Amino acid sequence: MGGGNGGRPWVEMRGIHKWFGGVHALKGVDFHVHRGEVVGLIGDNGAGKSTLIKILSGVFPPDKGEILIEGRRVRFRSPKDAKEYGIETVYQELALVDNLDVPANIFLGREPALVGGRGLFALLHKGRMLREARALLERLKVNIGDLTSLAGELSGGQRQTVAIARALYTEPKLLIMDEPTAALAVQETRKVLDLVRKLRERDIGVVFISHTLQEVFAVADRIVILRKGEKVGDLPAAALTVDEAVKLMVGGEGA
């Protein structure tokens, strides 16, 4: 458990290329994550981080290259496909619906029904949603307080926690976190980082993207650095300093 070096990675991306019009956004990037491993993905704006994780989460397909899960080649036609394989994503902005309460957000799009099954007019099982939401948050050891609060009434850290909890409800194998701490205060950031560490204990792989390198170094087992669509570094976090990482990111000549 944990660490996850050696052995076959859970997910592997090989030789990924992506063009947007004339822009060559990814130039043959290899990327992999083991179960229970936290991989920090860093790079300057436009380095290709978002493009890479959007391919991994099924938002769009690579133009060249392949994705393997447990050694088998897969193709994602939509984020739904990726979810079915156990890849969940927490987005920075799109996360929550502010005018719905916590359980409603956690179960949005997969509400349990009293009667009516999968139908649009199925009666909601609100009691079960509240119970399971509470149980889920307790398992993650996070405290939201009144679960009937609307998401818009929560603090930034609580919102992010709920967004992560929502992604974890389906027991994913890999969680992609795109700038999960961007809008958070120091204290709240610490809570999110604690949560990431708990995911490692639960043997979930994490891809953690952040502009704050200190955060990445605080949680990541391994750090992957992109620059202008190419992978320029892939090292254990312990073998790298923040200064070295910055040099790789910006490509300083004297590096």
Partner 1 sequence: MDIKAWLKRINRNRVLFPLGALALLVIVAASLSPHFLTPMNIKNVLSQVSIIAILAAGEACVILTGGIDLSVGAVLAISGSITAVLMKWVGAAIPLAILGGLGAGALAGALNGLMVAWVRIPSFIATLAMMAVARGGTLVLTNGRPVSGFLKSFRAIAGYAGPLPLLFLITFGVYVLWQLALSHTRFGRYVYAVGGNETGTRFVGVNVRRVKLLVFILAGLCAAIGGIMLDARLNAAYPTAGEGYELDAIAAAVLGGVSLSGGVGSLVGTFFGALVMTVLGNILNLLKVGAFYQYIAKGLILAVAAISLSRGIKFAK
Which parts of this chain interact with partner 1 (CB under 8 A)? 79-80, 83, 91, 94-100, 104, 108-111, 113, 116, 119-124, 126, 146, 148, 150, 152-153, 166
Residue closer to partner 1, measured from CB, 116 or 236: 116
Closest approach of partner 1 to the CB of residue 244, in Å: 36
Per the listing, tokens 């992010």 go with 160
Residue closer to partner 1, measured from CB, 59 or 69: 59
Closest approach of partner 1 to the CB of residue 99, in Å: 4
Concatenated DSSP letters of the chain: --S--SS--SEEEEEEEEEETTEEEEEEEEEEE-TT-EEEEEE-TTSSHHHHHHHHTTSS--SEEEEEETTEEE--SSHHHHHHHTEEEE-SSS---TTSBHHHHHTTTS--EEESTTSTTPEE-HHHHHHHHHHHHHHTT---S-TTSBGGGS-HHHHHHHHHHHHHTT--SEEEEESTTTT--HHHHHHHHHHHHHHHHTT-EEEEE-S-HHHHHHH-SEEEEEETTEEEEEEEGGG--HHHHHHHHHT-TT-
Closest approach of partner 1 to the CB of residue 111, in Å: 5
Closest approach of partner 1 to the CB of residue 109, in Å: 4
Residue closer to partner 1, measured from CB, 147 or 235: 147
CB of 207 within 8 A of CB of 174?
yes
Residue closer to partner 1, measured from CB, 44 or 81: 81
Strand order in the sheet with 64-69: 23-33, 11-20, 64-69, 72-74
Residue closer to partner 1, measured from CB, 24 or 91: 91
Closest approach of partner 1 to the CB of residue 75, in Å: 18
Closest approach of partner 1 to the CB of residue 117, in Å: 10
Residue closer to partner 1, measured from CB, 11 or 95: 95
